[in-house]
C-alpha cells in the first residue's frame, strides 16, 4: 500500500531534517543535537528515543572536601568550583551527579527503593533541564524540535517532555510537518533487559496499525519508530545467552537480527517515504525496504560522539541523505 505518488516536476513540498537517537543521558550529545539545525542548515530536529542515563555518581562531602569515584578513578575535589566542573563531566558522559553526605550515601547503599527514587528524580530533573536548554536556544529560530522517549526510558520523564512550546514529544501520535506526516512510536519488541517500553510483536503491530489508520493517504509519510525492522541490517546485535554473556564465534561476537517483525511488516505495507530508527547502537546504516529508505544512525554516546542522519525530502522521495558524526 503506497500512500502518495506524484508525477515528476517541480517539488511542491520540501523538508530538511536531522535525526539522531540513543544518547542515553549524554549532555554533550544533547547540546550537539540542539546545535545541529544551525550547523547543517535544517529546520527540523528529531531525537528518536533512549534519552536517559543509567548511572548515578555520588559526590560525597567529607570533612570540608568532596570525593567521588568516576570512570574507575577516585577523585578528591577541594572546592565548589571543582565540584561544579566534575558535575559537568559526569553529565557529559551520560551519568547523573548527586551531591550528598556520608549518611545519605549509606542510605543509598542500604535501601534500594530509596536509591531508585533518587535516581528517578535526578533523571526527571535532567530531562526537564534539557527541555529548558532547548527552549533557550531554539525559541524564535523557527526550528522544530521533536524529542521522543525510547524503550529504555522510564515513564517518569513523559511529564518533563510535556507542556513546552518548543520541544514536542511526538510519541503515539501523527504530526504534520510541512505537508509530511510524522508517525512516531517509542516502543520496542521484547529485549533481554525487560526495559520499560516493550511489547510482544502482536501488540506492537496493533499500536502501529492504530496510528496508521489515522494517516491521510494524500500526504507522504515519515515513520519515526525507535525499534528498527527485523533482519534489515539495521538491527544486528550480539547474540546473548540467558546469563547475558555474548556468544562468540571464531573469536568474534555472533551478530543476529533483533529488530521488530511488526515494524518491518508496517514498513512493507505502508511504504513511507522515510523510516527513522535507533535502538541498536552497532547497526549504523541505511537500507531500502521496497521504496522506503530506512535509516539507523547508530550511537557512540559513550565517546561523546553524536551520530545522526541528515535527510532532505522533495515531495514523495528522499532527494538526498547522509550519515554524519560530530
pLDDT, tens digit, 9 for 90 and up, residues 218-237: 999 999 999 999 999 999 99
Half-sphere exposure of 60 (CA within 13 A, CB side): 19
pLDDT tens for 193-210 read 999 999 999 999 999 999
The set of cell numbers assigned to 18 is 536531522
How many other CB atoms are found less than 10 A from the CB of residue 29? Answer: 27
Q: What is the mean pLDDT of residues 300-320?
A: 97
Domain residue limits, the chain: 14-53+133-325, 56-119
What gap in Å lies between CA 68 and CA 74, rounded to an integer?
6
Fold (topology level) of 56-119? Nucleotidyltransferase; domain 5 (3.30.420)
Residue 299's Cβ-count burial label (10 Å; 0-12, 13-18, 19+) is buried
Look up the pTM and report it: 0.95
Fold (topology level) of 14-53+133-325? Purple Acid Phosphatase; chain A, domain 2 (3.60.21)
Kindly tell me if the per-residue pLDDT of 2 is higher than 60.
Answer: no
Q: Do domains 14-53+133-325 and 56-119 have the same CATH topology?
A: no
What gap in Å lies between CA 115 and CA 311, rounded to an integer?
42
CA–CA–CA angle 93, 136, 147 (5° rounding): 60
Q: What is the mean pLDDT of residues 281-310?
A: 97
DSSP output for 95-163: -EEEEEEHHHHHHHHH-HHHHHHHHHHHHHHHHHHHHHHHHHHHTTTT-EEEE---TTS-GGGHHHHSS
Amino acid at each position: 500500500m503506497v500512500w502518495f505518488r506524484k508525477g515528476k516536476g517541480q517539488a511542491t513540498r520540501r523538508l530538511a531534517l536531522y535525526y539522531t537517537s540513543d544518547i542515553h543521558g549524554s549532555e554533550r550529545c544533547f547540546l550537539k543535537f540542539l546545535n545541529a539545525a544551525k550547523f547543517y542548515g535544517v529546520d527540523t530536529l528529531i531525537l528518536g528515543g533512549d534519552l536517559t542515563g543509567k548511572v548515578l555518581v555520588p559526590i560525597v562531602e567529607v570533612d570540608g572536601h568532596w570525593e567521588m569515584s568516576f570512570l574507575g578513578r577516585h577523585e578528591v575535589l577541594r572546592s565548589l568550583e571543582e565540584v561544579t566542573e566534575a558535575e559537568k563531566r559526569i553529565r557529559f558522559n551520560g551519568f547523573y551527579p548527586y551531591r550528598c553526605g556520608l549518611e545519605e550515601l549509606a542510605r543509598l547503599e542500604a535501601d534500594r527503593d530509596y536509591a531508585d527514587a533518587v535516581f528517578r528524580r535526578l533523571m526527571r530533573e535532567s530531562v526537564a533541564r534539557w527541555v529548558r536548554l532547548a527552549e533557550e536556544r531554539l525559541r524564535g529560530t523557527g526550528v522544530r524540535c521533536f524529542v521522543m522517549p525510547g524503550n529504555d526510558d522510564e515513564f517518569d520523564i513523559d511529564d518533563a517532555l510535556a507542556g513546552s512550546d518548543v520541544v514536542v514529544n511526538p510519541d503515539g501520535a501523527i504530526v504534520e510537518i510541512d505537508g509530511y506526516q510524522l508517525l512516531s512510536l517509542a516502543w520496542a519488541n521484547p529485549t533481554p533487559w525487560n526495559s520499560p517500553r516493550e511489547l510482544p510483536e502482536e501488540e506492537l503491530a496493533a499500536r502501529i496499525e492504530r496510528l496508521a489508520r489515522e494517516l491521510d493517504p494524500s500526504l507522504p509519510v515519515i515513520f519515526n519508530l525507535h525499534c528498527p525492522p527485523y533482519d534489515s541490517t539495521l538491527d544486528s546485535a550480539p547474540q546473548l545467552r540467558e546469563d547475558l554473556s555474548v556468544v562468540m564465534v571464531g573469536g568474534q561476537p555472533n551478530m543476529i537480527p533483533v529488530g521488530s517483525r511488526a515494524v518491518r511488516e508496517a514498513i512493507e505495507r505502508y511504504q513511507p517515504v522515510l523510516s527513522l530508527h535507533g535502538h541498536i547502537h552497532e547497526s549504523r546504516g541505511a537500507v531500502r525496504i521496497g521504496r522506503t529508505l530506512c535509516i539507523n544512525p547508530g550511537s557512540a554516546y559513550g565517546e561523546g560522539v553524536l551520530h545522526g542522519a541528515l535527510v532532505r525530502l522533495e515531495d514523495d522521495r528522499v532527494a538526498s541523505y547522509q550519515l554524519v558524526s560530530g
